[in-house]
Amino acid sequence: MSEPFFEYASCYEHEDGRVHLKIDHTIKVCRIMDELTAWLGLDEHDRFLAHTVALYHDIGRFEQLRQYGTFVDHRSVDHADLGVQILKDGSFLDALDEEDRRIVLFAVENHNKYRIGPCDERTRLFARLIRDADKCDIFRVFACEDLNQATSTSIEQIKDDVVSDEIEQMIMAHRPIVKEKRKTGLDVWITFLGFFFDMNFSKTMEIAREQGYYRLLFDQIRFHRCQDQIDRILQETERFMDEQLKQKKDG
């Protein structure tokens, strides 16, 4: 099932080095997805279907980059919606029956939305899984890849930036960040911390906590204007994580 994806992606590799970033991200999301579905004890068919969702969740990124030269959706196009159209127009999902194709398309379409759209519980499971697996590797991308590619910001910009009051309030209220409310480059960084308030499975939180990518850049930088604010935001985010994980163990 993976061969069509890699054949498709390879057509873009000569055009922009950033393509490799998305191929690598896809591979790692697939691995995290496999770990989540094994942890949940899903049967072989559903594990295969979830892996397929992970494989194709970002297929719209390649054409987005070719057409617009960016991975930033609000400056170009919603990459999930574009990905759904590419999957519908191509033969990627031909081996699946109609119901499985519907599930894959829904999960791909909803993997980056603020909330999952209306659906039945079985379909929602796959949407929840890809949202978690994707977030888990985005922490790594944020910490380890070129920041200009990942966030359209630079460390030098961020050092003198601040977190908007409204964004900090979302963190303190344990709400995912509303992208339209962001005003500064540092607001964009804080979006990643907001991922923890929209995680569906404790296993995802365990993986992200253990990896530590979510706070790597925050620890490496001394913020000139808002260090106390960053410390407060990190402390509250980790307090939330610890409480959630403790409840899972106690429950």
How far is Cα 1 from Cα 59, in angstroms, rounded to an integer?
14
**Angstrom distance (rounded) from CA 179 to CA 243:** 26
Whole-number pLDDT of residue 153: 78
Tokens in use for 46? 């559903």
Average model confidence (pLDDT) across the chain: 93
> 90 Cβ partners below 8 Å, 6+ apart?
4, 8
Q: Any idea which residue has 């402390």 for tokens?
A: 235
pLDDT, tens digit, for every residue of 20-65?
A: 999 999 999 999 999 999 999 999 999 999 999 999 999 999 999 9
Each residue's pLDDT tens digit, 191-209: 999 999 999 999 999 999 9
Is 197:175 a contact under the CB 8 Å cutoff?
yes
Q: Using the Cα atoms of residue 163, residue 18, residue 132 and residue 122 in order, give the sign of their dihedral.
A: positive
pLDDT at 140: 96
**Model confidence, pTM:** 0.93
**Whole-angstrom Cα Rg for the chain:** 18
Domain boundaries defined on the chain: 1-131, 153-251
Digit-coded pLDDT (tens) for 71-85? 888 889 999 999 999
